Amino acid sequence: ILNVEQSPQSLHVQEGDSTNFTCSFPSSNFYALHWYRWETAKSPEALFVMTLNGDEKKKGRISATLNTKEGYSYLYIKGSQPEDSATYLCASPRGAYKYIFGTGTRLKVLA
């Protein structure tokens, strides 16, 4: 994998459902993996920064895992709420500052 890829591109879930999406990234020369939450007309908000293989991070109902050897990260949302509706971006830096972003997963939680 040469780029950062995210799947699915978009999904709709019902309120209360749990969901997850995937970020795939180049496993060579790995530095870190970031997840951002981006609501329309607002600034992307950092959710997690993960650097170590096997890392698991959690913030409320949102959690993420990291596998640097195979080059993927999962983001999980438990009990989705309408306010979770946003685009979730992942990014992996190549070197100190050049971040490669995925195209994002657009989540819509239906009440």
Partner 1 sequence: GAVVSQHPSWVICKSGTSVKIECRSLDFQATTMFWYRQFPKQSLMLMATSNEGSKATYEQGVEKDKFLINHASLTLSTLTVTSAHPEDSSFYICSARPSGSGPYEQYFGPGTRLTVT
The answer to the question of residue 98 lying near partner 1 (CB under 8 A) is yes
The answer to the question of residue 104 lying near partner 1 (CB under 8 A) is yes
CB of 5 to partner 1, least distance (A): 9
Residues 54-83 that bind partner 1 (CB under 8 A): none
The answer to the question of residue 93 lying near partner 1 (CB under 8 A) is yes
47-to-2, 51, 67, 89 alpha-carbon distances in Å = 24, 14, 17, 10
- CA gap 99, 90 in Å, rounded: 10
Q: Which of 2, 70, 97, 111 binds partner 1 (CB under 8 A)?
A: 97
Residue located via tokens 């329309």: 40
Name 86's bridge partners: 107
- CA gap 21, 12 in Å, rounded: 12
CB of 3 to partner 1, least distance (A): 8
Nearest to 45 by CA among 34, 57, 58, 36: 36
Nearer to partner 1, 23 or 80 (CB): 23
Residues that bind partner 1 (CB under 8 A): 3-4, 31-32, 34, 36, 41-44, 46, 49, 51, 89, 91, 93, 96-104
